[in-house]
Chains A and B, each alone.
Chain A
Amino acid sequence: RKEVEQDPGPFNVPEGATVAFNCTYSNSASQSFFWYRQDCRKEPKLLMSVYSSGNEDGRFTAQLNRASQYISLLIRDSKLSDSATYLCVVQGVGGKLVFGAGTILRVKS
């Protein structure tokens, strides 16, 4: 089993739609969780950290479910500019961050 697994997509959604991504992880002792955004042929950029209580940043909401070992990212009112690959990042065994392969989002007008 991979340490971090994501649905690769692509998720094709119209502008204004709400879309959600899930990511499962195997290390039950993980303490650090992040969502990164990566545009085509660019470097990953931190979108948001994920806290135990869940957190929101504008149109983006991240949640953590420790019992089922997954994190989620919800994007409301999708914009064309949200089109990107979203990387799930979790602390792995040994403490290092482990990056998922990413979920592709395409927002269409």
Chain B
Amino acid sequence: DGGITQSPKYLFRKEGQNVTLSCEQNLNHDAMYWYRQDPGQGLRLIYYSQIVNDFQKGDIAEGYSVSREKKESFPLTVTSAQKNPTAFYLCASSIGTAIYNEQFFGPGTRLTVL
């Protein structure tokens, strides 16, 4: 089955630690995205990538980093510089390189900072 997988589903982190969230897709999509969702708020864009080895900051990139070494993979690292990292993180992908096409989401990772 084609789709987007994210792991882990739940992640607990101590303050001061970096953590990496995994996102893999086998849809052969060019563009991939990372969003953060907080209760009662819309999704906010962290980073996006339209092609391999290239990515762009979204609206709330501070405290996060990404890489895009393979078309299928777009991992997100939440660094200790992110002041309020507890949230629901969603990875998405879309056909082609245009960033206004419909997006398909993975099941998400819930990150909790202890």
* A-side interface size class: 20 to 34
Q: Are A32 and B100 in contact (CB under 8 A)?
A: yes
Contact of A96 with B by CB under 8 A: yes
A100: B residues at CB distance < 8 A: 42
Contact of A99 with B by CB under 8 A: yes
Chain B, residue nearest A101 (CB): B42
A49 and B103 alpha carbons, distance in the complex (Å): 11
Which of B11-19, B73-81, B104-112 contacts its partner? B104-112
A95 and B101 alpha carbons, distance in the complex (Å): 10
How many A-B contacts are there with CB distance less than 8 Å?
47
Whether A96 contacts B58 in the complex (CB less than 8 A), given A42-B107, A43-B105, comes out as: yes
Q: Which of B88, B99, B104 contacts A46 (CB 8 A)?
A: B104
A42: B residues at CB distance < 8 A: 107-108
Q: How far is the CB of B7 from chain A (nearest CB, A)?
A: 14
Q: Are A91 and B100 in contact (CB under 8 A)?
A: yes
A44: B residues at CB distance < 8 A: 43, 90, 105
A91: B residues at CB distance < 8 A: 100
Whether A101 contacts B58 in the complex (CB less than 8 A), given A43-B108, A44-B90, A44-B105, comes out as: no
Q: Which of B40, B43, B102, B105 contacts A34 (CB 8 A)?
A: B102
Q: How far is the CB of A7 from chain B (nearest CB, A)?
A: 13
B100: A residues at CB distance < 8 A: 31-32, 91, 95-97
B106: A residues at CB distance < 8 A: 43
A87 and B90 alpha carbons, distance in the complex (Å): 15
Binary per-residue interface labels of chain A (1-40) against chain B in the complex, 1 for a CB within 8 Å, 0 otherwise: 0001000100000000000000000000001101000000
Q: Are A96 and B45 in contact (CB under 8 A)?
A: yes
A59: B residues at CB distance < 8 A: none
A8 and B90 alpha carbons, distance in the complex (Å): 21
Q: How far is the CB of A10 from chain B (nearest CB, A)?
A: 12
Contact of A108 with B by CB under 8 A: no
User: Which A60-109 residues sit within 8 Å CB-CB of chain B?
Assistant: 87, 91, 95-102
Write the residues of chain A forming the contact surface with B, with a CB cutoff of 8 angstroms.
4, 8, 31-32, 34, 41-46, 49, 87, 91, 95-102
